[in-house]
A and B are shown apart, each in its own frame.
Chain A
Amino acid sequence: MGYVAVKGGTEAIHNASELAEFYRVKDNTTPIDVKQIRTQMRLAIDKVMGEGGIYAPEYAAIALKQAEGDVYEAAFILRAFRTTLQRNYYTEEINTREMFVRRKISASFREIPGGQVLGPTRDYTQRTLDTAKATETTADIHLFLEQVDAKIDPEKLQEINSFGKVIDLLKNEGLLKPIDPSDDRKLVDITREAIKFPAPRSARLQMMARAETGGLMALGYSSQRGFGGVHPTVGELRYGTVPLRVKDASGRLRYIGKIEVTECEMVTGSKPGKKNTPPYFTIGYGLCFGHNETKVICMSTLDSAMRRPELGAPANDQEFVLYHTEGVEAMGFTNHLKLPHYVTFQSILSNTRASVERSKKANLEAEAWRQLASV
């Protein structure tokens, strides 16, 4: 009787999970070290932390290992773990102006203060499959690292600087839309209360920071292609580390460490305002844990798009964007279709049978009338 055999369920699920574990290791290869995952699967880790909503690279690595590399599943495991942790402090807001920049580019200006810093990017490489990776050895890695080291001249190392922002240039020139005191500045915490619509911008950004990259990309892309088009230009995209601080019991700020974040400030034209107001620029904002440029680009695009509901496309619709890019929920619900639904199906079956029966009867009657009429 299949998978709801009476009294057999518990044994079946135990066997199924044991089998899943067996599939993870059945080829009897060397176990992957969590440290290796953490360092060599850097971008996967960053995705998992972002969607999991917790900055914990080592735990993300464990989750990825446990989930056999399924990023959705790993993010879900991490989210569930996150809820069991005590929240002891709220950090002060991070200031990305004091970011230790590893990468920083602007598409809107040729030169920007501090210059374009390409940093680690695969953007300008040929994406040919590098078959040499198949035989990479520890010695190869050592050699490569030594070569990199040799290129660095300690004499030439500059002092660590933080950089001003591209949007400051626009702001100083008076091209950004001034902040209206009536603008929505309400700060909510989406992990402590259910989101309510229309949602304040703080809730929208929080939802997107935890959203699934692919979902954000699909909708962000749709907006760029013309469905509710906002015309975005990357004002600045930066990736690096920012310091975190909390207030201790005596009210003093304490430095507690630093995290990696990626930030995007997307410049778009604003909604045509009242007569005689100039077409100011507005900034769409995106920020996420770790290094995930696709995510912040789409996040900032959607941040702008959602402020233009009158355009009427999916990307302009808060409820549509936020509910459907929430990866953990979307994955859970789409997969719940695998659960037995035979009672609900029985219910609709009985309706459909009765309806088909009624229709057959009606057709027979109509046919009888036609025959009578043609006699």
Chain B
Amino acid sequence: MVENIKFSNKYNFAFIDESTKKEIRRKLLKAVAIPGHQVPYSSPEMPISRGWGTGGLHITLALIGRSDVFKIIDQGSDASVNACNLREFVNAMTGCETTFDTSKATLVQTRHRITEEELNENQIIVFQVPLPEPLRMVERYEYKTLQMHAEADYSKMWVSLYEAYVRYGAIMQGSGYPVMVNGRYIMSPSPIPRWDTPNLHQAKTLFLFGAGREKRLYAVPPYTDVEPLEFEDVNFEIEDFSKSACYKTGFKKAFLDELYADDGSQKYVISDSNFLDKIDSEEETHQYTNKYIDQLEAYDVERG
């Protein structure tokens, strides 16, 4: 535990005061009870910049106990600079064990990815969310988006997706692909790539989302329908890596990062750093499977 010497007062366990933790906890229970609905919360300032994971931290710190094993990733990587900073903060404020190993963690915080390995019933994953409102791209005013959610009036959203299709021949949404949760709310799954989106559907794990700057939190409970928005004839598609392979392992069936060397040459590597390590050292892994990955026949599951 870090002591604040100058002011000679100790920080509370998990930094946040108990009263605010309770508020976050109450709101989390409501968020779970109404899957996909954004619940406003007080979102106190943290010693971490707004937009750098404060919402995720609020949830993590409201959840964490002494026996938790904490993992945090950014872009899939345990070693990403901001993730390292947040890991040290959580560790300093709680004394909790931290890990890189996806299967050993009880609590995972993430920015922009779901782990490549499937999370189980005893794990919770917390997403850092920059822009929680999926309708913001079609409606700039909050009081109006609130109304649209209240009435489940999502026509503007559908029109926007259709317009993209007419103009570019595809629904151009990249990451953060909007999803319909439990048949009721359109939700932003945070900027995860489309590769990860199907893994939210009927999952074993509780997914919690925290948008600190926008002061909203929301949830997808386990075993909940999460469907990417699509038309009957224009379908959701995941990123296509069939023409690439991880340069370290030859592995293809994973989200890959595109790298450029000094000479401008291009190569790919597995984005999830822990998964890469496990594949590289031929350890056992339990990857998510879903119909979108299974559909892509070009994938060579065997190592190249």
Contacts and interface: CB of A to CB of B under 8 A. Distances in A.
Consider the complex of A and B and state whether they touch directly, i.e. have CB atoms less than 8 Å apart.
yes
A344 B193 contact: yes
Interface string A344-374: 1011111100110011000000000000000
Given A350-B240, A351-B172, A13 B50 contact: no
A193 B259 CA distance: 43
A62 B6 contact: yes
CB-CB nearest 10 A-B residue pairs = A332-B50, A348-B174, A336-B51, A194-B215, A333-B51, A194-B40, A332-B49, A347-B174, A9-B79, A344-B175
A79 B83 CA distance: 22
Given A328-B45, A354-B170, A343 B52 contact: no
A254 B176 CA distance: 53
Contact of A194 (B50, B112, B216): B216
Most central of A83, A331, A355 by chain B CB within 10 Å:
A83
A356 B258 CA distance: 18
A193 B46 CA distance: 15
A83 B47 CA distance: 9
Interface of B: 4, 6, 9, 11-12, 15-17, 20, 40-52, 54, 74-85, 87-88, 111-113, 130, 141-143, 168-170, 172-176, 191-195, 213, 215-216, 239-240, 255-259, 271, 273, 276
Interface of A: 1, 3-10, 12-13, 16, 62, 76-77, 79-84, 86, 191-198, 319, 328-329, 331-336, 339-344, 346-351, 354-355, 358-359
Nearest to B240: A350
A332 B142 contact: no
A332 B43 CA distance: 14
A351 B170 contact: yes
B188 to A, nearest CB: 12
A1 B247 CA distance: 14
Nearest to B83: A9
B50 A343 contact: no
19 contacts: A4-B75, A6-B77, A6-B79, A9-B78, A12-B81, A80-B48, A83-B16, A194-B216, A332-B50, A332-B213, A336-B49, A336-B50, A339-B52, A339-B111, A343-B113, A344-B112, A346-B193, A346-B255, A351-B173
B74 A346 contact: no
Contacts of A346: 193, 239, 255-258
Contacts of B45: 76, 79-80, 82-83, 328
B193 A355 contact: no
**Chain B interface, >50% SS class:** loop
Given A6-B77, A343-B113, A83 B84 contact: no
A6 B17 CA distance: 34
A343 B255 contact: yes
A344 B170 contact: no
A77 B48 CA distance: 9
**Chain A interface, >50% SS class:** helix
Contacts of A5: 79
A222 B169 CA distance: 41
B50 to A, nearest CB: 3
Contacts of B256: 346
A194 B41 contact: yes
Nearest to A17: B85
A7 B79 contact: yes
B6 A80 contact: no
Most central of A347, A349, A358 by chain B CB within 10 Å:
A347
Contacts of A193: 40-42
Contacts of A191: 42, 44
Given A84-B4, A344-B193, A351-B172, 13 more contacts: A13-B85, A192-B42, A194-B43, A328-B50, A332-B50, A335-B49, A343-B76, A343-B175, A344-B175, A346-B255, A346-B257, A350-B174, A350-B240
Contact of B81 (A6, A7, A13, A328): A13
A333 B130 contact: yes
Nearest to B143: A197
Most central of A3, A196, A329, A355 by chain B CB within 10 Å:
A329
Given A79-B45, A194-B42, A351-B172, A333 B213 contact: yes
Contacts of B239: 346-347, 350
Contact of B174 (A328, A334, A351): A351
A245 B81 CA distance: 46
A343 B216 CA distance: 23
Contacts of B174: 344, 347-351
Given A9-B83, A13-B85, A355 B51 contact: no
Contacts of B78: 6-7, 9
A291 B54 CA distance: 31
Given A9-B83, A332-B213, A350-B240, A198 B143 contact: yes
